[in-house]
Amino acid sequence: MHLQIVGGNRLVGTVTAAGSKNAALALMAAAMLPAGETVLRGVPRIADIEVFRALMASVGAPSEWTDRHTLVISGGGLLDQTPPVELARKMRASYYLMGPLLGRLGRARVGLPGGCTIGARPVDLHLKAFAALGARTGIEAGEAWAEARRLRGADMTLVGPFGPSVGATINALLAACVTPGVSRIHGAAQEPEVVEVTAFLNRAGARIAGAGTGLIEVEGVRRLQAVAYDVPGDRIEAATYLLAGAATGGDVQVEGVAPWALDGLPRLLTQMGCACATEAGAVRVVAPPRLQAVEAVTGPFPALATDIQPVLVAALCRAQGGSLVEERVFDARFGYTSELERLGAQIRIVAGATAVITGVARLGGAPMSGTDLRATAALVVGALTAEGESQVEGLAFLDRGYEGLERKFASLGADIRRVGAPLRTTAVKQEAVR
Ligand code: EPZ
């Protein structure tokens, strides 16, 4: 299965962002804390959500779809057991089971995936948070564990070598909000997902202040009540459509996303020569035929999100002049650039951390293969800007995080379709492994 894309069409129109994958995963984990039935509305129908549902069900928190995007999660029957390791290894976010299990049962053990195509993904900061709350922690036989007879509120600092951690901050919140005493998370991540989980937990009865800043204070409560909550629109998905619109000289509006959550993207789009307008719940970009080169650096919020980086690089391949995009969150997130080079893009990676992109006037279609979610989205954006036909493989990655990507691009005027037939010759495949 692959996407067949005939590039070069100017993308024009309006699309609505699906619910945020990364907010929904964290909110689902948070829904394990109340004993009743939590209702999450606007949950995207993507593969990662299904894997996480299965993981939650395996530890006694089953869920049901009551309509296309509404998930009802039962937190009443949480079990003291380890989720099947082959399931846990399927996704990074399996670590989100640990905070609620530790907070409610005093024990958690979860299998963790190994290295990943975007760089190291350690869990030391997650375990540091649990240890600060009084748990014994460790990693054994590919599983992370934490155990405590009694947890108590504590101060903790969660900054790693690349800055704050979104996952560790949320896991700390999930455990601390039901732990007696006051906890303070210094060096907390400020991403919108942290703000969302906090809003959910506070609606459920938690007492958390400071989310969205580097210091979060949590006063533990005995129990939480089940509530209903709307998952916010996906900021990374929104950025994907906006950058694709910009790269094709188009006029694209994305609805259902809060502009404040898009980091510095509107400003960056303006520097790239676009007109970018924001209003409550919508962002619109109107682009010139060729973008201007820019310099951009990813980082923890409010800097440019690392998840936007691959799509931004793809959009800059046809810009006028030389662009620099520096990656400061993950240590190996440029692997996809050799695939973009098949289109004729000129990208050089300096010191593993900076992409130097020399804009070219024309890209030509080519077969390409994605290696992770955002990288595959970047290849799609590259193909949309290239003249002629491209094929993009790696749909299993794309389907982990984008609901209806080709349908949305087609509604904007892209010539894109999913094709079931096997794609490429052995020769091309061998070349891809180089
Ligand atoms: C979340 O991952 C997202 N995933 C990622 O999105 C996103 O790229 C990342 O945040 C950064 O914004 C989910 O929300 C499910 P981190 P997370 O802990 O929380 C280091 C996507 O494509 N670190 O904020 O796991 C880490 O190596 C995915 O949707 C430690 O050193 O990321 C990285 O350099 C990909 N020790 C930095 O912190 C730890 O214990 C930030 O990672 C944890 C992290």
Are 398 and 44 in contact, with CB atoms under 8 Å apart? Answer: no
Residue 164 Cα to ligand 1 midpoint, Å, equals 9
Report how far residue 96's alpha carbon sits from residue 118's, in angstroms, rounded to the nearest whole number.
19
Nearest residue by C-alpha to atom 31 in ligand 1 = 160
pLDDT at position 420: 86
Task: Give 251 Cα–ligand 1 centroid separation in angstroms.
Answer: 32
pLDDT for residue 427 is more than 50: no
The verdict on residue 425 lying in a domain is no
Specify whether 259 is located in the same domain as 341: yes
Residue 122 domain-assigned? yes
224 plus 243 within the same structural domain: no
pLDDT digits (tens, 9 = 90+) for 342-361: 999 999 999 989 999 999 99
* Atom number in ligand 1 closest to CA 307: 8
Ligand 1: residue whose CA is nearest its atom 6: 307
> Rounded to the nearest 10 degrees, what angle do helices 373-385 and 235-247 cross at?
20
Residue ending a domain, choose from 230, 254, 274: 230
Distance between Cα 165 and ligand 1 center (Å)? 6
Ligand 1: atom nearest CA of 128 is 40
Would you call 231 helix, strand, or coil by DSSP?
Answer: coil
For residue 419, list its beta bridge partners: 2
Question: 422 falls in which pLDDT band (50, 70, 90)?
Answer: low
Q: What is the pLDDT of residue 426?
A: 38
Model confidence band, residue 425 (pLDDT cutoffs 50, 70, 90):
very low
Atom 17, ligand 1: which residue's CA is nearest? Answer: 167
Which of 188, 211, 230 is the C-terminal boundary of a domain? 230
Q: Do 14 and 41 lie in a common domain?
A: no
The preferred substitution site among 21, 46, 118, 165 for testing ligand 1, maximizing ligand atoms within 8 Å of CB, is 165
Q: Which of 21, 22, 405 to mutate to test the pocket of ligand 1 (most atoms within 8 A of CB)?
A: 22
Looking at residue 423, its pLDDT comes to: 53
Same domain as 9, residue 46: no
What whole-number percentage of the chain has pLDDT above 70? 96
pLDDT band at 431 (very low <50, low <70, confident <90, very high): very low
318 class by beta-carbon count within 10 Å (0-12 exposed, 13-18 middle, 19+ buried) = buried
Statement to judge: residues 132 and 247 lie in one domain: no
> Both 110 and 221 in a single domain?
yes
The sheet that has 143-147: what strands, in order across it?
Answer: 107-111, 143-147, 136-140
Residue 116 has pLDDT above 80, yes or no: no
Q: What pLDDT does 433 receive?
A: 30
% of the chain surpassing 90 pLDDT: 91
CA of 405 to the centre of ligand 1 (A): 23
Distance 93 CA to ligand 1 centre (A): 9
Q: Whose CA is nearest to atom 14 of ligand 1?
A: 22
Structural domain contains residue 427: no
Ligand 1 centroid, distance to 377 Cα (angstroms): 18
**Residues 238, 341 share a domain:** yes
In a domain, 197, yes or no: yes
Across the chain, mean pLDDT equals: 94
Indicate which atom in ligand 1 lies nearest the CA of residue 374: 22
**Number of folded domains in the chain?**
2
Atom of ligand 1 nearest to the CA of 123: 40
Q: Tell me, what CATH number does 254's domain have?
A: 3.65.10.10
Q: Which atom, in ligand 1's list, is nearest to the CA of 162?
A: 34
Which phi and psi angles does 368 have, rounded to 5°?
-140, 160
Task: Evaluate whether 189 touches 300 at the Cβ level (below 8 Å).
Answer: yes
Q: Are residues 45 and 191 in the same domain?
A: yes
Strand spans (E) along 99-214: 107-111, 136-140, 143-147, 155-157, 182-186, 207-209
Q: For residue 68, report the distance from its CA to the centre of ligand 1, in Å.
A: 28
Is 30 within a domain? Answer: yes
Residue 47's pLDDT band (cuts 50, 70, 90): very high
Does 81 share its domain with 174? yes
Q: Residues 222, 254: one domain?
A: no
On whether residue 424 sits in a domain, the answer given is no
Catalytic center residues: 116
Predicted local distance difference test score (pLDDT) of residue 224: 97
Is the predicted pLDDT of residue 121 greater than 90, yes or no? no
* Domain span holding position 148: 21-230
Q: Output the ligand 1 site: residues, CB below 6 A.
A: 21-22, 25, 92-93, 120-126, 160-162, 165-168, 189, 193, 305-307, 329-330, 373-374, 401
- CA dist., res. 40 & res. 208, Å (int): 20
Nearest CA to ligand 1 atom 28: 307
Q: Which pLDDT value is given to residue 114?
A: 62
Distance set, CA 255 to CA 70, 96, 384 (Å): 19, 29, 21
- Give the closest residue (by CA) to ligand 1 atom 21: 307
96 in the same domain as 181: yes
Confidence of residue 250 (pLDDT cuts 50, 70, 90): very high
Report the residue among 329, 333, 398 best suited for mutation to probe ligand 1: largest number of ligand atoms under 8 A from its CB.
329
Atom of ligand 1 at shortest distance to CA of 189? Answer: 24
428 occurs within a structural domain: no
Which pLDDT belongs to residue 432? 33
- pLDDT of 120 reads 80
Q: Mean per-residue pLDDT for 95-99?
A: 97
**What pLDDT sits at residue 117?**
79
Of 384, 386, 406, residue with least CA distance to 342 = 386
In a domain, 431, yes or no: no
Same domain flag for 136 and 98:
yes
Of 230, 256, 283, the one marking the end of a domain is 230
